[in-house]
């Protein structure tokens, strides 16, 4: 009898687990995801800033697995896990499993601030990135029409909460795009009123990275005109006013939220199996504590068994990929009745792009910055794309856009059905 492995989530972990088990006749695999496509989160900020199309970093699941004889796709959202009966409930039906793998990833953490949750603009999904793109373009159009100086400034101000790699990359991209494009295409706008604020509660940007990387990011963003506010957290956002912990108030129509994540909720998992940040506590083999055949991979997994990472692994793509490869090998060892291999994370470094031709890279033994780091960042971010055509298309688009400084996809697209019958 083939063992049925149900994988919930088609991100880095889910896709790499499928790759490690594809066409193994001992397993039947069902991938469950609420979307019908895989996408590459590290580049989602470039979609939000109109630099690349969503299709450059996305790929349909059914096309991806079309040649995999033992893999099926089920489009649906997780509703509940039933460990006693080995049944997964989705909004499109139920699935019986022998092994369940939870690789749902994370969602934005608003730290209990209801106004921020309702009004801020997160950027965790393609849908959110496209919504943010539309919002910023519509706000620019409104600013171009507005003759009131105070209102125009509020429309042009952009506040980014979170000074990690996403916040830094987003701030640099918006600052550069503004300098290259706004003056030429929005002559009605007084650019002197525009401000980009990057806010973080910690004392440095890029806190997990080296001091060299932190200082390089700070200095470069300052040169680009970004107003950096550290040691200060966002406390509220109401009436188009961002309220900071030190009492400072910034008027803006655009608060972009990149300030932390929390694990997606998995109803049915025992409460004692859920740890800090709503991540699922797992053993050295990624099995969820208190369960017999449920595993968790990637950002949602909190693994405290790795000696080098006693507080858990960083929520990075490399961790998810390595989790998946190790679990794939262990599933085969289970069938072969061999001893399982505990997970050990191999840190390959971290990096962030600051602006065109400028990035920072931290490798295990040394760090570097500048043009070479920028080229390294480009190369590393093309490799994980799931299809050859995506790699080629993105490389070509990057080459064209970095030369011209003028992406042409600044389209305000708000698809909905016209029921008026008018033409």
Burial 145-167 (b: 16+ CB within 10 A, else e): ebeeeeebbbbbbbbbbbbbbbb
Band (367; pLDDT cuts 50, 70, 90) = very high
Band (226; pLDDT cuts 50, 70, 90) = very high
Mean pLDDT of 219-236: 96
Q: What is the pLDDT of residue 9?
A: 97
Residue corresponding to tokens 């409930």: 89
Structure tokens that stand for 328 in this block: 């794939």
Kindly report the backbone phi and psi dihedral angles of residue 190, in degrees, each rounded to the nearest multiple of 5, phi listed first: -85, 105
**Nearest Cα to Cα of residue 37 among 57, 16, 8, 17:** 57
Q: What is the pLDDT of residue 342?
A: 97
Q: Which CATH class is domain 3-108+261-336?
A: alpha beta
Cα distances from 420 to residues 76, 265, 413, 416, in angstroms, run: 32, 40, 19, 12
Tell whether the model's pLDDT for residue 198 goes beyond 90. Answer: yes
Identical fold, 3-108+261-336 and 114-259: yes
Mean pLDDT of 310-329: 95
* CB neighbours of residue 372 within 10 Å: 11
Q: What is the pLDDT of residue 413?
A: 76
Name the percent of the chain lying above pLDDT 90.
76
Mean pLDDT of 90-108: 97
Partners of 38 in the β-ladder: 59
Bigger pLDDT: 352 vs 414: 352
Strand ranges for 87-187 from DSSP E? 87-90, 93-96, 99-102, 106-108, 121-122, 158-161
Q: Is the dihedral of CA 257, 260, 263, 265 positive or negative?
A: negative
Q: What is the pTM of this model?
A: 0.92
- Residue 219, exposed/middle/buried by CB under 10 A (0-12, 13-18, 19+)? exposed
Which numeric CATH code is attached to 114-259? 3.50.50.100
Q: Give the domain ranges of the chain.
A: 3-108+261-336, 114-259
Q: What is the pLDDT of residue 293?
A: 97
Mean pLDDT of 291-297: 97
pLDDT digits (tens, 9 = 90+) for 239-256: 999 999 999 999 999 999
pLDDT digits (tens, 9 = 90+) for 369-398: 999 999 999 888 888 887 788 888 888 888
The DSSP element (H or E) to which 404 belongs, if any, is helix 388-404
Q: What is the pLDDT of residue 417?
A: 61
Band (402; pLDDT cuts 50, 70, 90) = confident
Bigger pLDDT: 81 vs 151: 81
């Amino acid at each position: 009898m083939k063992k049925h492995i149900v994988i919930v989530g088609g991100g880095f972990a889910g896709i790499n687990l499928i790759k490690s088990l594809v066409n193994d006749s001992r397993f039947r695999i069902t991938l469950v995801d609420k979307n019908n496509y895989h996408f590459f989160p590290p580049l989602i900020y470039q979609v939000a800033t109109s630099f690349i199309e969503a299709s450059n970093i996305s790929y349909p699941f059914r096309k991806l697995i079309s040649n995999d004889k033992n893999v099926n796709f089920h489009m649906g959202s997780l509703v509940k896990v039933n460990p006693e009966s080995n049944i997964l409930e989705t909004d499109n039906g139920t699935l019986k499993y022998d092994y369940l793998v939870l690789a749902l990833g994370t969602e934005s953490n608003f730290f209990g601030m209801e106004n921020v949750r309702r009004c801020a603009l997160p950027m965790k999904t393609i849908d959110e990135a496209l919504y943010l793109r539309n919002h910023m373009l519509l706000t620019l159009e409104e600013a171009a029409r507005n003759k009131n100086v105070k209102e125009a400034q509020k429309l042009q101000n952009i506040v980014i909460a979170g000074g990690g790699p996403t916040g830094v990359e987003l701030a640099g991209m918006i600052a550069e795009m503004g300098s290259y494009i706004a003056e030429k295409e929005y002559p009605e706008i007084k650019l002197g009123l525009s401000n980009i604020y990057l806010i973080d509660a910690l004392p440095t940007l890029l806190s997990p990275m080296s001091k060299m990387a932190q200082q390089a990011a700070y200095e470069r963003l300052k040169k680009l005109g970004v107003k950096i506010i550290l040691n200060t957290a966002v406390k509220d956002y109401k009436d188009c006013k961002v309220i900071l912990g030190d009492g400072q108030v910034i008027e803006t129509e655009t608060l972009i939220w990149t300030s932390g994540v929390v694990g997606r909720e998995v109803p049915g998992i025992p409460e004692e199996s859920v740890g800090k940040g709503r991540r699922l506590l797992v053993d050295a083999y990624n099995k969820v504590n208190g369960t017999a055949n449920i595993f968790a991979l990637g950002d949602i997994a909190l693994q405290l068994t790795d000696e080098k990472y006693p507080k858990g692994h960083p929520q990075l793509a490399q961790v998810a990929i390595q989790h998946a490869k190790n679990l794939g090998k262990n599933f085969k060892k289970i069938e072969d009745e061999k001893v399982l291999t505990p997970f050990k994370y191999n840190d390959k470094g971290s990096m962030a792009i600051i602006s065109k031709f400028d990035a920072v890279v931290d490798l295990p033994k040394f760090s570097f910055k500048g043009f070479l780091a920028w080229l390294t960042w480009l190369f590393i971010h093309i490799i994980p794309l799931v299809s050859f055509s995506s790699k080629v298309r993105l490389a070509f688009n990057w080459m064209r856009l970095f030369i011209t400084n003028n992406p042409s996809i600044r389209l305000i697209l708000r698809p909905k059905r016209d029921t008026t019958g008018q033409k």
